[in-house]
């Protein structure tokens, strides 16, 4: 079952699994569940044979089976999954997904074991966000390809900025919570500013302070005669900003208790008045100071759990608005000479289904093979893993990692619940330290790097290079 957001290489996991199972026993059968966990719950599946898989080998996307974000939590859902596995007499169930999906996998493994069902449940680490990792899981698949697609686009913007010399490009990058994608893209392209949500949180930086930092970079470059630049903004930034976190929490609580009343209000103005009358005074003030477009977005979009859909908020436009105001004030007081041109971008879906890089193609195929071995051996509640990823695939070392080793207790629906933890950017780790050491220079100089398109054939150091994150982390581990 493919689960959660698309990530390049998902089809190769299936190919590796299929080949591995047939090598183990030529009579093996592989079934794929349709539309993610819902397919498992409702028993919707299709048999996968060599002919069905062949056109999808090395291809991006999840379209062979489709995906979904359903959680498997309730007693009824668990029973339905058990019934599906019993009906198909499955020796193994392979869940290809991120933190939520692997939480599902761990729950199912425990439930099956308790009920005496022999289906082994095995997880495969997938997410372009790069936040499913641990000491034993070096990287999630898809991160390599997605960040290389974004880095190509950012490099193109850097080149355009330097050519046209009139725009500051503000680029929001996908990555629901953690800032790994932004950090990796910054290491690959060396933009003028790269904001990291985890750093914002550690230092308790307010929105006004973040805007001020960016505006100061604009001012310093303008003073040096450079009226262009590139700023990278992680999708999850605003949840790390203390007053925004407070606002989102209050809105979520309000929607949880008064959604029906709120949804009956006819106009955007009515909805805004309703919300403002119920927010606490400091949070209400923070809300009022936001640009109208952002206020509307906070109120219009909600996810399946009724919470504010933070990933859809145009944070890059929020920052542009703030920086423009600062610069306008400086222009008025004679502290800023010249013009400020700004453009906003969002890169996310462009990379999620891209053709996998050589790295991701090999990594995912190998993960599928490891998953087939774990199933064949009847190991349940494990995640397929490969170590030594910066080396050639021939020397990768296969292993199974207990899903429980990735879990911790979090407050969910008012009670402590075991979940696979999201790995945030480690501010003491080598990738962030590298950014921190270089960014002062990148802010002033044009230190841009233009990675260009992903290469599949040619010198291995070009075609098979790991991400900068993986290379720096591996070098640090090796000491």
The bridge status of strand 30-33 relative to strand 45-48 is: antiparallel
Q: How far apart are CA 150 and CA 188, in angstroms?
A: 10
Task: Return the number of the residue (100 or 473) whose C-beta is nearest ligand FBP.
Answer: 100
Which spans in 89-233 are helix H? 99-114, 143-164, 180-189, 197-202, 207-223
CB of 7 to ligand FBP, least distance (A): 6
Task: Please report whether residue 7 would count as binding ligand FBP according to CB under 6 A.
Answer: yes
**CA-closest candidate to residue 7, choices 173, 167, 130:** 130
**CA-closest candidate to residue 446, choices 188, 147, 161:** 161
**CA-closest candidate to residue 134, choices 387, 455, 468:** 387
Q: How far apart are CA 442 and CA 215, in angstroms?
A: 15
Which residues, numbered 326-365, are part of the site for ligand FBP (CB under 6 A)? 352
The interface region with ligand FBP, picked from 25-33, 50-58, 121-129, 268-276 by CB under 6 A, is 121-129
Task: Return the number of the residue (181 or 290) whose C-beta is nearest ligand FBP.
Answer: 181
Task: Please report whether residue 127 would count as binding ligand FBP according to CB under 6 A.
Answer: yes
Q: What string marks each residue from 415 to 454 as x (binds ligand FBP by CB under 6 A) or -?
A: ----------------------------------------
Task: Return the number of the residue (7 or 105) whose C-beta is nearest ligand FBP.
Answer: 7
CB of 115 to ligand FBP, least distance (A): 28
Choose which of 21, 117, 120, 128 interacts with ligand FBP (CB under 6 A). 128
Q: How far apart are CA 379 and CA 383, in angstroms?
A: 10
Contact 228, 168 (CB under 8 A): yes
Choose which of 129, 138, 201, 243 interacts with ligand FBP (CB under 6 A). 129
The interface region with ligand FBP, picked from 1-9, 82-90, 109-117, 248-256 by CB under 6 A, is 1-9
Contact 170, 319 (CB under 8 A): yes
Q: Which residues contact 413 (CB under 8 A, 6 or more apart)?
A: none
Q: How far apart are CA 400 and CA 18, in angstroms?
A: 18
Active-site entry in 129, 144, 314, 362: 129
CB of 458 to ligand FBP, least distance (A): 29
Q: What string marks each residue from 277 to 316 as x (binds ligand FBP by CB under 6 A) or -?
A: ----------------------------------x-----
Q: What are phi and psi of 116, to 5 degrees?
A: 75, 20
Task: Return the number of the residue (99 or 138) whose C-beta is nearest ligand FBP.
Answer: 99
CB of 4 to ligand FBP, least distance (A): 3
CB of 442 to ligand FBP, least distance (A): 24
Which residues, numbered 151-210, are part of the site for ligand FBP (CB under 6 A)? 174-176
Q: What are phi and psi of 316, to 5 degrees?
A: -65, -35
Q: Which residues contact 376 (CB under 8 A, 6 or more apart)?
A: 20, 21, 24, 25, 91, 92
To the query of whether residue 129 is one of the catalytic residues in this protein, the response is yes
List interacting residues with ligand FBP (CB under 6 A): 4-5, 7, 98, 127-129, 174-176, 235, 311, 352
Catalytic residue numbers? 129
């Amino acid at each position: 079952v493919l689960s959660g957001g698309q990530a390049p290489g998902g089809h190769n996991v299936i190919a590796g699994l299929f080949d591995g199972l047939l090598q183990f026993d030529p009579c093996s059968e592989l079934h794929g569940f349709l539309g993610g966990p819902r397919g498992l719950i409702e028993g919707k599946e299709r048999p996968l044979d060599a002919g069905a898989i062949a056109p999808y080998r090395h291809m991006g996307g999840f379209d062979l089976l489709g995906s979904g974000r359903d959680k498997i939590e309730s007693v009824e859902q668990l029973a339905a999954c058990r019934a599906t596995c019993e009906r198909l007499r499955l020796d193994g169930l392979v869940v290809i997904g991120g933190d939520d999906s692997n939480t599902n996998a761990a729950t199912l493994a425990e439930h099956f074991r308790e009920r005496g069902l022999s289906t082994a449940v095995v997880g495969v680490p997938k997410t372009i966000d790069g936040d499913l990792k641990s000491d034993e899981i070096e990287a999630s698949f898809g991160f390599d390809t997605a960040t290389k697609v974004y880095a190509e686009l950012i490099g193109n913007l850097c080149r355009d900025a330097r050519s046209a010399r009139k725009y500051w490009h503000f680029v929001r990058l996908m990555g629901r919570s953690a800032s790994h994608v932004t950090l990796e893209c910054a290491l690959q392209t060396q933009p003028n500013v790269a904001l990291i949500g985890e750093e914002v949180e550690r230092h308790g930086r307010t929105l006004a302070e973040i805007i001020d930092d960016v505006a100061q970079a604009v001012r310093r470059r303008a003073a040096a005669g450079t009226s262009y630049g590139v700023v990278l903004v992680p999708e999850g930034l605003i949840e790390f900003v203390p007053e925004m976190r407070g606002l989102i929490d209050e809105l979520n609580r309000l929607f949880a208790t008064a959604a029906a009343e709120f949804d009956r209000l006819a106009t955007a103005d009515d909805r805004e008045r309703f919300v403002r009358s119920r927010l606490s005074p400091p949070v209400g003030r923070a809300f009022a100071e936001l640009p109208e477009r952002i206020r509307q977005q906070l109120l219009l979009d909600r996810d399946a759990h009724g919470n504010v859909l933070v990933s859809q908020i145009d944070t890059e436009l929020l920052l542009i608005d703030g920086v423009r105001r600062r610069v306008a004030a400086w222009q008025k007081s004679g502290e800023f000479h010249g013009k400020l041109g700004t453009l906003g971008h969002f890169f996310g879906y462009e990379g999620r289904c891209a053709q996998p890089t050589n790295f991701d193609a090999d990594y995912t195929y190998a993960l599928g093979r490891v998953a087939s071995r774990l199933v064949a051996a009847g190991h349940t509640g494990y995640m397929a893993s490969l170590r030594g990823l910066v080396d050639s695939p021939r020397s990768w070392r296969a292993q199974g990692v207990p899903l429980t080793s990735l879990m911790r207790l979090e407050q969910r629906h008012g009670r402590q619940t075991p979940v696979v933890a999201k790995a945030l950017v480690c501010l003491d780790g080598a990738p962030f330290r590298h950014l921190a050491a270089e960014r002062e220079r990148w802010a002033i100089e044009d230190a841009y790097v233009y990675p260009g398109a992903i290469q599949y054939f040619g010198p291995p150091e070009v075609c098979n290079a790991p991400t900068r994150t993986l290379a720096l982390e591996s070098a640090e581990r090796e000491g």
